[in-house]
């Protein structure tokens, strides 16, 4: 049996089955030639789209072995209408051990494919290029179905004897190489590289390096479309915000019904707008917990809809859930003001705030075990720490009084002190001279010893990094937190900084 297509001035064979191959029928042959070899050849019209569809189904099947499955559409037959040479890439890095071994994985794969009626060949190597060549042009004498090469050194020997076709090159380049007597890939190892590049372009050596692992090659997996996706097309393009909102609300409601049936909640939703001028716009929202509450989700979008530019009009919108998590149906209480209800409300509020202001701007404070006050706490996004977590704000030792307001970056100030290592007597802040009426201190804070610059033993690095903090009250009763950086030394005059304000 063979499939045919109309190309190159006649009907030509595009693909053959093994029986036809046995009598000598090959792709690219004209149908007349094939019929002379085997008069009762069954032929079918080739259907590339159906082939691709079938390959896509196979890709989905193969996703059980690895998430990294891609369709290989490289085809070096001159008439690019068949999928004769295409196949699937499976990047099984880190997946083989789940099946026991690489052989066991392939065994399983072949068994599965055989059951659904496919004959397959496989090549396994540490580079995609070598695997491609091995799958097509080499067979293990024992298994007859696949070939596995383990090490990089092995690849070199394995593919050396394979025909030049194994390098994924254009048809005319292969012909050119063969005319020069370079029949197998191994022939390329021995000859100088420069003349090849000059004659055939970069692609020959590029493909060779990729096969040998000297050049990186990345495969991009085609991920399946999100299962939770809704589509709405308009008869007339829409442009008003109210219209978009109404359409969006309809999609959100129907999407939520789907989610409810699947017991799923959405973590991330993407709204794609297809404009009249073929451009697309994207709006994305994310929630801190899985949700499928239509009103809440629409509200999150409402904040973002302001940023949408409808352009000349929007033809269609697609709403798809790019990230979902299981969400069980929950019984709501009759008491509307319960703690659970309140926590729920707070989470909804946080979602709204985050969607408008960004997750960097909606934070909670978290203590950090560091000595310097500005490093002793940090702001983390509310998604990463929930409320009600017990935090230790006292630090390793109970601190003396800390200010309510702490400057992120201490500001240098001019200070007059009575004695160089005493508390300040007068300082300037916001263009005003402040008389110090009372001072408390010093509280000496140094960075952790492993962070101190310089050699601890030779120089006296402590002198520069030590901070002596003073609590100061000025004439008006305002309280400040000042510090002197570094110790006083006749040739080292320490600088003063303001770091915080007490109430």
Partner 1 sequence: MLATVIRNSFRPDQKMISLLRQKIQAIENKTPLSSLANLNCRKFEQFELKNIVPLGVPEVDAALPWNGFPTNGLHEIFGDTAAFGFLVVLITRLTEILSQTRHSTQVLWCQQGRDLCGQGLAQFGIDPNQIILVHGKNDREIIWAMEEGLRSSSLAAVIGKLHKIPPIASRRLHLAAEENETTGLLLRTAPSNMVRQAPTSSALTRWCVTSVPSITPAHGVGLGVPKWHLELQRCRLSAASEGKLESAGQPRSWQVEWYNETSDLSVVTDLCNRSDQSQSLWKIAN
The strand pairing partners of 272, in sequence order, are 282, 318
Which residue among 168, 230, 348, 467 contacts partner 1 (CB under 8 A)? 348
The residue among 217 and 374 lying less far from partner 1, judged by its C-beta, is: 374
In angstroms, how far is CA 118 from the centroid of its own chain? 34
List the interface residues with partner 1, window 461-490 (CB under 8 A).
471, 473, 475-479
Residue 362 binds partner 1 (CB under 8 A) = yes
CA distance readout (Å), 58 to 55, 69, 87, 403, 452: 5, 10, 10, 65, 60
The contacts of residue 120 (CB under 8 Å, 6+ apart) are 109, 110, 113, 114, 145
Which residue among 341, 414, 418, 448 contacts partner 1 (CB under 8 A)? 341
Residue 438 binds partner 1 (CB under 8 A) = yes
In the DSSP assignment, the letter for residue 500 is E
The residue among 310 and 423 lying less far from partner 1, judged by its C-beta, is: 423
The residue among 453 and 478 lying less far from partner 1, judged by its C-beta, is: 478
Q: How far apart are CA 486 and CA 484, in angstroms?
A: 6
Which residue among 363, 446, 463, 464 contacts partner 1 (CB under 8 A)? 363
Residue 116 binds partner 1 (CB under 8 A) = no
Which residue among 343, 384, 433, 495 contacts partner 1 (CB under 8 A)? 343
Residue 435 binds partner 1 (CB under 8 A) = no
The contacts of residue 472 (CB under 8 Å, 6+ apart) are 423, 424, 427, 436, 438, 439, 440, 479, 480, 481, 482
Q: Which range in 92-100, 253-261, 336-344, 482-490 contacts partner 1 by CB under 8 A?
A: 336-344
Q: How far apart are CA 422 and CA 484, in angstroms?
A: 10
The contacts of residue 493 (CB under 8 Å, 6+ apart) are 420
Cα angle 133, 98, 112; round to 5: 60
Residue 178 binds partner 1 (CB under 8 A) = no
The residue among 89 and 481 lying less far from partner 1, judged by its C-beta, is: 481
Kindly state the helix (H) or strand (E) to which residue 288 belongs, with its residue range. strand 280-291
Residue 436 binds partner 1 (CB under 8 A) = no
The nearest distance, CB 376 to partner 1, in angstroms, is: 6
Residue 502 binds partner 1 (CB under 8 A) = yes
Count of positions on this chain that bind partner 1 (CB under 8 A) = 60
The residue among 404 and 419 lying less far from partner 1, judged by its C-beta, is: 404
Residue 339 binds partner 1 (CB under 8 A) = yes
Binding mask 378-417 for partner 1 (x = CB under 8 A): -x--x--x-xxxxx-xxx---x-xxxxxxxx---------
Residue 128 binds partner 1 (CB under 8 A) = no
Which residue among 6, 32, 357, 411 contacts partner 1 (CB under 8 A)? 357
In the DSSP assignment, the letter for residue 126 is S
Structure tokens at 197: 């590049």
Residue 369 binds partner 1 (CB under 8 A) = no
Residue 46, Cβ density class (10 Å: 0-12 exposed, 13-18 middle, ≥19 buried): buried
Which residue's entry shows tokens 């691709």? Answer: 52
Residue 429 binds partner 1 (CB under 8 A) = no
The strand pairing partners of 138, in sequence order, are none
Structure tokens at 205: 């050596």
Residue 356 binds partner 1 (CB under 8 A) = yes
The residue among 138 and 479 lying less far from partner 1, judged by its C-beta, is: 479
Q: How far apart are CA 231 and CA 247, in angstroms?
A: 10
Q: How far apart are CA 218 and CA 91, in angstroms?
A: 10
Q: How far apart are CA 202 and CA 219, in angstroms?
A: 20
The residue among 170 and 473 lying less far from partner 1, judged by its C-beta, is: 473
Q: Which residues bind partner 1 (CB under 8 A)?
A: 339, 341-346, 348-350, 352-353, 356-357, 360-367, 373, 376-377, 379, 382, 385, 387-391, 393-395, 399, 401-408, 437-440, 471, 473, 475-479, 500-503
């Amino acid at each position: 049996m063979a499939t045919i297509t109309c190309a190159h001035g006649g009907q030509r064979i595009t693909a053959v089955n093994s029986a036809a191959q046995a009598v000598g029928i090959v792709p690219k042959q004209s149908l007349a030639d094939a019929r002379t070899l085997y008069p009762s050849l069954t032929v079918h019209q080739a259907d590339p789209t159906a082939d691709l569809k079938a390959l896509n189904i196979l890709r989905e099947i193969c996703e059980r072995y690895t998430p990294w499955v891609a369709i290989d559409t490289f085809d070096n037959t001159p008439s690019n209408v068949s999928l004769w040479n295409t196949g699937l890439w499976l990047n099984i890095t880190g997946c083989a051990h789940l099946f026991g071994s690489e052989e066991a994985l392939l065994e399983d794969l072949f068994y599965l494919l055989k059951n659904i009626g496919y004959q397959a060949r496989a090549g396994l190597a540490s580079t995609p290029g070598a695997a491609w060549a091995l799958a097509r042009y080499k067979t293990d004498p024992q298994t007859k179905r696949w070939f596995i090469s383990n090490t990089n050194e092995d690849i070199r020997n394995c593919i050396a004897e394979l025909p030049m076709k194994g390098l994924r090159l254009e048809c005319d380049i292969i012909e050119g190489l063969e005319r020069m007597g370079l029949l197998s890939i191994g022939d390329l190892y021995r000859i100088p590289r420069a003349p090849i590049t000059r004659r055939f372009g970069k692609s020959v050596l590029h493909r060779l390096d990729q096969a040998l692992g000297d050049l990186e090659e990345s495969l991009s997996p085609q991920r399946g479309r999100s299962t939770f996706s809704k589509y709405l097309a308009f008869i007339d393009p829409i442009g008003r915000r109210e219209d978009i909102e109404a359409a969006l609300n309809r999609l959100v409601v129907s999407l939520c019904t789907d989610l409810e049936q699947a017991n799923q909640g959405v973590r991330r939703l993407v709204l794609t707008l297809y404009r009249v001028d073929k451009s697309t716009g994207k709006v994305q929202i994310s929630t801190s917990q899985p949700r499928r509450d239509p009103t809440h989700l629409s509200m999150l979008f409402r904040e973002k809809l302001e940023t949408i530019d409808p352009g000349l009009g929007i033809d269609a919108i697609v709403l798809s859930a790019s990230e979902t998590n299981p969400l069980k149906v929950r019984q709501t209480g009759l008491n509307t003001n319960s703690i659970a209800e309140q926590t729920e409300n707070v989470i909804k509020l946080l979602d709204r705030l985050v969607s408008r202001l960004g997750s960097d701007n909606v934070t909670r404070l978290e203590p950090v075990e560091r000595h310097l006050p500005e490093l002793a706490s940090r702001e983390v996004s509310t998604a990463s720490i929930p409320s009600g977590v017990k935090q230790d704000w006292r630090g390793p030792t109970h601190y003396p009084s800390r200010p309510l307001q702490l400057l992120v970056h201490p500001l240098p100030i001019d200070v007059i002190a009575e004695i160089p290592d005493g508390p300040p007597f007068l300082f300037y802040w916001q263009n005003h001279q402040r008389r110090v009426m009372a001072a408390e201190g010093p509280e000496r804070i140094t960075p952790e010893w492993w962070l101190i610059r310089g050699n601890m033993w030779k120089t006296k690095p402590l002198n520069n990094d030590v901070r002596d903090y003073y609590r100061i009250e000025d004439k008006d009763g305002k309280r400040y937190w000042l510090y002197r950086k570094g110790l006083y030394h006749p040739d080292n005059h320490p600088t003063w900084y303001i770091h915080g304000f007490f109430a």
